[in-house]
């Protein structure tokens, strides 16, 4: 596990010399060489700021995927049961590392399917509405897939989305939700609230929600709590077990760098995971693995999170995830978050420097408090937003555009550098002067 950066926070300079010195002091700097970087048209590595959408490929990934392909070619179906990495229980070896990232016990975590599929499966178990307790609370700006999943779930139970979905919106003129407003909304809904399901980090604004406080407040009114951690897993500190969260799911292709559309992770708190009578949609791979091949009728769940599995593991994507998880285990979340806070603060600094003469041109809508964000900064632009975005893209930067006028930047601590952040600031300054 690597040590933390020694550079004191908030002593930044908008200079190449400062950025290079910060990189020289960065204990995570060698990790950059463990990833493939796309190349610009000039043959240089791009300035990659979209790890919040698709993380870069670890160089070890190809070897692990090729290992699976070779085993398939040479052993066929026998690959399920022979060798050190047999496919039958391939995911078992990945559970401890995945659990460390989200602050869970290994038995509370499994790897299966994709994110929205898992959200539906989890809501089958944890959204059990009654005539009086039937509402789901979520943020108004949730990712569309979450909105569609929740809408279809309440319709499935015979409720109108307008009546059953409580959406939390920022106060007029504000961009993010105030923590106290979330807690007050939970208390106000009280006995009518069946489920609170928020994104751990909002995809649009980059706001990190206080999941511990939200969980406590929801439990006090008798509601169940789940989180979509697509933008949180591998990005922020998580302690799902200790926070008493009921369930969560996340994708692994963003900050976890585990292949496009890669396998999803699931957390189910120990008290639920051990309850084999809990309502669920069942499949063969969730059946007691000691007697699975007896092919008996009557579902008998594995008494941990694996009991929610439907089908055998997606081995090729699990192999890619294995390569990524090993790097996270090597570094540790504590060191990653320490660098993330420094790197993100430096990005905030250079963005403000770039727009110093035009302060209304770029507005950072992500919370300024490091405790209320991960590494993503969302920039609200003026009417020149798309021109700024296109200029950056033409000059070797890969940021992310979100309608109507937000550019998202995610300086990922595993592989982004301070020098890259400085270069981005210079390009932003040039673009603002040009347009």
Range 142-147 average pLDDT: 96
pLDDT band at 91 (very low <50, low <70, confident <90, very high): very high
Q: Up-side HSE of residue 272: CA atoms within 13 Å toward CB? A: 23
The pLDDT assigned to 131 comes to: 97
* pLDDT tens-digit readout, 391-427: 999 999 999 999 999 999 999 999 999 999 999 999 9
Q: Which residue has the tokens 């920039």?
A: 379
The pLDDT assigned to 1 comes to: 45
8 Å CB contact between 427 and 391? yes
Mean pLDDT of the chain: 96
H or E element, residue 267: strand 264-268
User: Which tokens sit at 357?
Assistant: 């003469």
CA angle (51, 152, 110) in 5-degree steps? 50
* pLDDT tens-digit readout, 37-49: 999 888 889 999 9
Q: Is the pLDDT at 268 greater than 90, yes or no? A: yes
The pLDDT assigned to 284 comes to: 96
Ordered structural domains, the chain, with CATH: 16-34+334-434 (3.90.1150.10), 65-329 (3.40.640.10)
pLDDT band at 6 (very low <50, low <70, confident <90, very high): very low
Residue 331: CB atoms within 10 A of its CB come to: 20
* pLDDT tens-digit readout, 53-89: 999 999 999 999 999 999 999 999 999 999 889 999 9
Length of the chain: 435
CA angle (247, 310, 266) in 5-degree steps? 25
Range 178-203 average pLDDT: 98
CA dihedral 166, 171, 175, 178 (to 10 degrees): -80
Mode of pairing for the β-strands spanning 224-228 and 193-199 = parallel
pTM over 0.75: yes
pLDDT band at 10 (very low <50, low <70, confident <90, very high): low
8 Å CB contact between 424 and 347? yes
User: Which tokens sit at 84?
Assistant: 């050190």
The pLDDT assigned to 164 comes to: 98
């Amino acid at each position: 596990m690597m040590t933390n950066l020694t550079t004191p926070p908030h002593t930044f300079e908008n200079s190449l010399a400062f950025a290079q010195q910060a990189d020289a002091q960065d204990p995570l700097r060698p990790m950059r060489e463990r990833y493939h970087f796309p190349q610009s048209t000039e043959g240089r590595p791009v300035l990659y700021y979209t790890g919040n959408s698709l993380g870069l490929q670890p160089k070890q990934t190809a070897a692990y995927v090729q290992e699976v392909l070779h085993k398939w070619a040479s052993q066929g179906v026998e690959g399920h049961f022979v060798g050190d990495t047999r496919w039958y229980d391939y995911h078992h070896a990945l559970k401890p590392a995945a659990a460390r990232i989200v602050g869970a016990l290994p038995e509370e975590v499994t790897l299966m399917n994709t994110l929205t599929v898992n959200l539906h499966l989890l809501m089958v178990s944890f959204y059990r509405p009654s005539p009086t307790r039937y509402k789901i609370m979520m943020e108004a700006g949730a990712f569309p897939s979450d909105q569609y999943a929740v809408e279809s779930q309440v319709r499935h139970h015979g409720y109108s989305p307008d009546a059953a979905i409580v959406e939390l919106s920022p106060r007029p003129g504000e961009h993010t939700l105030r923590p106290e407003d979330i807690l007050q909304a939970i208390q106000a809904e009280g006995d009518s609230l069946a489920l609170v399901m928020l994104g751990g980090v909002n995809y649009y604004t980059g706001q990190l929600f206080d999941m511990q406080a939200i969980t406590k407040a929801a439990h006090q009114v008798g509601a169940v709590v789940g989180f979509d951690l697509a933008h949180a897993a591998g990005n922020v500190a998580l302690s799902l077990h200790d926070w008493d969260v009921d369930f969560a799911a996340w994708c692994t292709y963003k900050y976890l760098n585990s292949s496009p559309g890669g396998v999803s992770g699931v957390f189910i708190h120990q008290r639920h995971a051990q309850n084999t009578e809990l309502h669920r949609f069942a499949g063969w791979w969730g059946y007691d693995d000691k007697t699975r091949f007896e092919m008996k009728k009557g579902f008998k769940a594995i008494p941990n999170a694996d009991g929610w599995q439907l089908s055998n593991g997606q081995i090729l994507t699990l192999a890619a995830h294995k390569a990524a998880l090993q790097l996270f285990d090597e570094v540790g979340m504590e060191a990653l978050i320490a660098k993330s806070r420094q790197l993100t603060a430096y990005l905030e600094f250079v963005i403000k420097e770039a727009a110093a003469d035009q302060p209304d041109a770029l507005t950072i809508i992500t919370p300024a408090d490091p405790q209320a964000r991960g590494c993503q900064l969302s920039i609200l632009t003026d009417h020149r937003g798309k021109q700024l975005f296109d200029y950056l893209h033409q000059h070797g930067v890969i940021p992310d555009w979100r309608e109507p006028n937000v550019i998202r930047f995610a300086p990922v601590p595993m592989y982004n550098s301070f020098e890259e952040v400085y270069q981005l600031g210079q390009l932003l300054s040039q673009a603002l002067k040009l347009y």
